[in-house]
Amino acid sequence: RRSSDLPRSIQLVSRQRTLLKLRWSLGEGETISHLKYILRLRCEGPSVRALEPSTDNNPGQKVVGIELPVEIANLMEGLEDGWCPVWFGESMSCKVPKLLAGMVYQASVRSFNHFGASDWSQCVSFSTAASVPFAPVGLEIIETESKVAWAEARPNGSSISTYSLSCDKGSGWNVLYSGLDTYCLLPSHAKGVPLRLRVRASNAEGDGPWSAVVEGSVQADAPNAPVLLCSSVSASSAIVTLSNKDGIPHGGELVISCFDQSSGSSTPFCQTHFSAFPAEIKNLTPGITYEITAVAVDKNGRKSDTSAPISVSTKAQGNYKR
C-alpha cells in the first residue's frame, strides 16, 4: 500500500531557548505500518540565514541540518526557500536542538515507506523562548577618530536595553561606557595608554556574554592650555600659579616665557621650565612691566596652545611689598 496519507496536527510539546519538542499524528483511523517521517524546519519571515550551521563566535546558535541517507535523499524536493531537514525516524515526536532563541520557526512533516511518500503537511509556526543577547562582534579601535565601535548584537527575542564597554588599562576592568549606541568616544584618560577592551549587550533576560578582547591604543590628546595667575611680585621676581588643575600634564612641565614690554622684542627676556606650582620667576629687572605666557608640554613632547598672557610689573628697587 502506498504511503499517501498525510501526517496531521503537528503540536508543540515544550519549548526552550534553543530547543523545540514536537509531535504529530496521522488521520483518524489510519494504521499504516512501517512508516517513517521526515521533519523540515525554516525561520518564519526573511531570517532564513538562521538555518545556516553554527559559527565559532556563537557556537550552537543556529539550526544544524541533518544529512539524510542516500536512499531517501530524493524525498527532499521542496526544500527550497530556506527549508532544512532536521530529523527523520519512526517516532511520531522529536526534539529539534541548536535553534536560535526568540525566533519563530515553521515546521512541516511527511511520511514515507518502501511504497513512496506523502505530501508535506501544512506548515505550523512555533517560537523558541527569549534569551540574553549574543556577544557583539566586530569590536575595534578606530584610532583616527579616537573611538571604539562594534556591530549590533543579536537580541534573541528581547530588545537590547544597553551595551556595556569595559576597559582594562592595567589595573583591572572598569566600565567605560553604558548605553544604546554601538560606539564610544574615548575620554582623555583612556588615550595614550595600552588598552584592553570588551563589550557585552543586555536585555530583559539578563546580561549576555562578553565579546572577544581587543587590545590597542590611541594617541593622547595635546595638553590643555594653562591659565596663569600672579600671586605676588617683588623687584626681581614674580610668583605665578595655575587656576586650572590640569594645567600641568602628568609627567610633563610648563614652559613660562617673560617678555619685556618696554623693549617691544618678540624674544623672551627669560624662559623657565616648571613641573610644580606655585613657581617663582627670578632675575627680573626692577620697575619693568612683563608679559608672561606659558605652554604645557607632556611627557611625549606634545605642546598645548599658548596661555592667555598676564601682565606683571616688578617693583622699583627698594620698594618691595608682598
**DSSP for 95-109?**
EE-SPPTT-EEEEEE
pLDDT band, very low/low/confident/very high, at 44 (cuts 50, 70, 90): confident
Question: What single DSSP character describes residue 156?
Answer: T
Residue whose entry in the numeric block shows the C-alpha cell 511520531: 92
CA distance 23 to 35: 15
Which position has the higher pLDDT, 319 or 157?
157
Rg for the chain, CA atoms, rounded: 37
State the pLDDT at residue 86: 86
Closest by CA position to 243, among listed 225, 224, 227: 227
- Which long-range CB contacts under 8 A does 118-121 form with residues at least 24 apart? 118/3, 118/4, 118/5, 118/6, 118/7, 119/4, 119/6, 120/40, 120/78, 121/6, 121/7, 121/8, 121/10, 121/24
Is the per-residue pLDDT at 111 higher than 80? yes
Residues 3, 112: contact at Cβ < 8 Å?
Answer: yes
State the pLDDT at residue 295: 92
Is the per-residue pLDDT at 54 higher than 60? no
**What is the phi/psi pair of residue 144, to 5°?**
-65, -20
Q: And the C-alpha cell for 24?
A: 504529530
CA distance 136 to 152: 6
| Length of the chain measured in residues | 322
**pLDDT (tens digit, 9 = 90+) per residue, 61-97?**
344 566 766 666 666 665 567 788 888 888 888 888 8
CA distance 31 to 34: 10
- Quickly list DSSP for 134-196: PPP---EEEGGGTEEE-PPPP-TTS-EEEEEEEEESSS-EEEEEEES-SEEEPPGGGSSS-EE
Burial class (CB in 10 A: 0-12, 13-18, 19+), 91: exposed
Closest by CA position to 141, among listed 193, 99, 186: 186
Residues 63, 42: contact at Cβ < 8 Å?
Answer: no
The answer, yes or no, to whether the previous bond of 278 is cis (omega within 30 of 0) is yes
If one counts every other C-beta atom within 10 angstroms of the C-beta of residue 120, the result is 18
Closest by CA position to 209, among listed 107, 285, 133: 133
Closest by CA position to 97, among listed 177, 19, 173: 19
Question: What single DSSP character describes residue 121?
Answer: P
**pLDDT (tens digit, 9 = 90+) per residue, 163-215?**
999 999 988 999 999 999 999 998 877 887 889 999 999 999 999 999 999 99
Strand 20-25 to 253-260 pairing: unpaired
